[in-house]
Structure 1
Amino acid sequence: MTDLFDRFRVIDVDTHLTEPADVWTSRMPARLHDRVPHIERIDGKDVWMADGGFIGAPGFYSMAGWDGVLPASIPETYDDIAPSMYEPEARVALLDAEGIDAQVLYPNVGGFGNGYFTTLSDRSLALACVQAYNDFLTDWTSVAPDRLVAVTALPFWDVDLAVAELHRCHAKGHRAVNFCNQPSDHGMPPLAHRHWDPLWAAAQEAGLSVSFHVGGGSMGTQFEDVAEMGWMTNFAKVSSLIFLDNIRCVTDLIFGGVCHRFPDLRLVSVESGVGWIPAMLETCDWQWRNGGVGDEHPEYDLLPSEYFQRQIYGCFWFEEEAAVEALRRYPDNILYETDYPHPTCQHPGPRTPAQRPRDYATRALGGLPDDVLDKVLHANAARIYGL
């Protein structure tokens, strides 16, 4: 079977970078270094600390190629983490080796929807942390700005600040913004509320897509069964269930009128799979008609599936038959990702040595026609991110 990565310019729309240890300490005054995210070595392990509290460890989300399973075995220090996870030149070399043209980049430390910074009582410090990350990202992607795609983190707890940061980072070359998929989990108005309309308007005017990464809401209650179930089993359960958060996110955007009010705004459901999309949209269309939504909102001029086709996108990285069916139904709305270097990423390691992204794509997608393959591997993403 012909290798698809040799035939198409592949754009990987969801990857993460392991933030270097000095992202915040190199950009903020020394008097704040203990309060902002910084690395401390404790019992021989590199961990992220802020305000005296543990907020994570780089090894947890740097698992590609690691012969171990969370939480018992992770890279303990930066010396154990591949440079391609935190150095831009090494990331570009990885792209060349894997036959990938470009990658879209998301954070780790601040949370997938930037929710960690809402826990800081000093909102001016929280804003400074967000801006420091975005400035770091500008520098990191400048090594190859058409191959390393910057996605702006937003201080979503203040819509005016979020709009200002969108404009600031757009001027620096960022190609999308990342927004919390469940802002109500952080005490903010729900996603469909008109409170957020200034942000959607700013993104639409700037031609920037808005990303909603899974896990952007509060995931705390999903870990309640750890003692009974086991840590790794529960982690696998949670990793499956967080897709449901983005089903909620997408339906909020459609039923809440965001798509109708902002018809040129592109909305991307990130790391949430795509197999559920045909069934969800069929359900939404059925309930839309039976629920009399058109009577309550006569301004809505499309069905949910039509709003989706016009402006919403989903991303996948491991599904096979389910992804092929979604592509058959919605070829213009599906994007390919690898999730590198997260624990569930599509990337080779000692446990799955043959599972290179190109092997998976060729096996799972190779039977699709060339026009569909070009869309899912390149053209859809190139259009969204201006590549």
Structure 2
Amino acid sequence: MSINWFISVDDHLIEPERLWQERVPEKMRSIAPRIERADGQEFWVYEDRQIVTTGLNAVAGKSKEEFSPEPISYDDMRLGCYEPDARVTDMDQGFVLSSMLFPSFPRYCGQIFHEAKDKVVALECVRAWNDFILEEFADAHPGRFIPMMIIPLWDPKLAAAEIERTAALGAKSIAFSENPTKLGLPSIHTDFWDPMFRAANDAGQVISMHVGSSSNLIRTSEDMPTLAFMAYSAAANQAGTLLDWLFSGNFEQFPNLKIALSEGSIGWIPYFLERAEQVIDKQRFWASRFDINMNAAHDRGESFGEASFDLDTDIRQLFKDHVFGTFIEDAAGLRLLDIIGEDNVMLECDYPHSDSTWPDTINLARKWLGHLPEETQHKITIGNACRVYDFEPADPASIKLP
């Protein structure tokens, strides 16, 4: 069986300029996000900020030689970057059966609205983005989009309410930060997030954490070369997210909770699972009694805290039951699939970003996965996404190819 279609669990929407101007209450539109043009530039205006769209976020249809981080306008980008019908046409061209979209202007988990001064307007903007995805993508094109929502990060109770509201409308996932402390919010090791986690647990919403959703990609120094930084930061950020969650106790407290490490790739996962097991084996007895700050100055004594580790913790089982990795290109990860688990890996194409494999993903996937059993190929390309997100994709036979 040849791979003919796939589900991409990480793509991106460049928001059309009409989104908030059509969807927030009319009295708020003058302060809601809007596009303005001046001095040859096009940019979003929101409160006291002017924010451009970087060219690397909308390269679909361009050659690598044309990629540039310089600001880009709608006239310079492919229509599929921002308009729903055109996106579906591009999906057909690339044999993308279904797609899940992360935001662009709001950033990967809606940080822009968390940073806003007027939280009343910000909440309306969050709801407007969600309704746009639900109505103009998911409802208008059944089975072609896995609806992922953003939440009001500043208030877990409001976030829980938005999860419940959108779940009733068919939402399947929420975007969350890989490390909320970098956004000035409490860590996942506190009970601050319990209302949100409980709502996601009860609604079956997957918590999708895109690399960079902490607004703080790790770098060794301020002058780390850009290409070195791009090669390093994704795995470095998401390795910390993985270990934070595995040792947080949240999966024990919320047994139906699932997380996806979006655009974090998978090749690094086996090492950190093995390292976690080594640490548990050697350190678990004292760690079950108290916690320490390993960075504390030893000549002044350690900082001690309450015990945070359960001797019965099974890292491998927690990972298998709750954590799912996604990849664009990762030959090393596929060679280590027996360690990661074929049920915990999903494919993505990252349209329309500069790392994207669109429109050639299907041919590349055949090359990468062709040596695997047909059942495994199906899991990675379609089956796991359907199971993890409880999603029914469109029937490929119903799609009229261009």
2:98 to 102, 105, 110: 102
1:138 to 105, 117, 134: 134
Partner SS for 1:280: helix
Partner SS for 2:375: helix
Structure 1 letter corresponding to 2:69: P
The alpha carbon displacement at 1:321 in A equals 2.8
Contact persistence 2:6–2:362 (CA under 8 A): no
Residue number in structure 1 paired with 2:189: 192
Residue number in structure 2 paired with 1:18: 14
Deviations 1:307-354 (A, max 9, x none): 101111000001113333135641110111011111211225xxxxxx
Residue number in structure 2 paired with 1:308: 319
Q: Aligned equivalents of 1:38 and 1:300: distance in 2? A: 53
Count of residues in correspondence between the two structures: 369
Contact persistence 2:11–2:348 (CA under 8 A): yes
Q: Which has the larger radius of gyration?
A: 2
Residue number in structure 1 paired with 2:162: 165
Partner SS for 1:131: helix
Change (3 A) 1:300 1:143: farther
Contact persistence 2:42–2:52 (CA under 8 A): no
Structure 2 letter corresponding to 1:28: V
2:265 to 273, 277, 285: 273
The alpha carbon displacement at 1:12 in A equals 0.9
Change (3 A) 1:239 1:125: farther
Alignment of 1:248-287 (within 5 A): 248-287=240-279
Partner SS for 2:19: coil
Let me know the Cα RMSD of the aligned residues: 2.3
1:377 to 377, 381, 385: 381
Structure 2 letter corresponding to 1:114: G
The alpha carbon displacement at 1:167 in A equals 0.6
Scaled by the length of structure 1, what TM-score is found?
A: 0.88
Change (3 A) 1:164 1:235: farther
Q: Aligned equivalents of 2:219 and 2:272: distance in 1? A: 23
Residue number in structure 1 paired with 2:111: 115
Matched, 1:81 2:77: yes
The alpha carbon displacement at 1:50 in A equals 1.3
Matched, 1:210 2:214: no
Residue number in structure 2 paired with 1:57: 53
Deviations 1:151-175 (A, max 9, x none): 0101121010000000111111111
Deviations 1:184-215 (A, max 9, x none): 11221102222212222211111111111111
Q: Aligned equivalents of 2:48 and 2:21: distance in 1? A: 15
Partner SS for 1:217: coil
Contact persistence 2:182–2:215 (CA under 8 A): yes
Change (3 A) 1:37 1:52: same
Q: Which runs of 5+ in 2 are unaligned?
A: 290-307, 393-402
1:290 to 282, 292, 300: 282
- Point out the more displaced range, 10-19 or 28-37: 28-37
Same amino acid, percent of matched pairs: 30
Q: Aligned equivalents of 2:228 and 2:369: distance in 1? A: 25
Change (3 A) 1:239 1:42: farther
Partner SS for 2:21: coil
Q: Which runs of 5+ in 1 are unaligned?
A: 349-355
Contact persistence 1:273–1:319 (CA under 8 A): yes
Change (3 A) 1:330 1:165: same
Contact persistence 1:327–1:334 (CA under 8 A): no
Partner SS for 1:194: coil
The alpha carbon displacement at 1:95 in A equals 2.1
Matched, 1:367 2:359: no
Partner SS for 1:291: helix
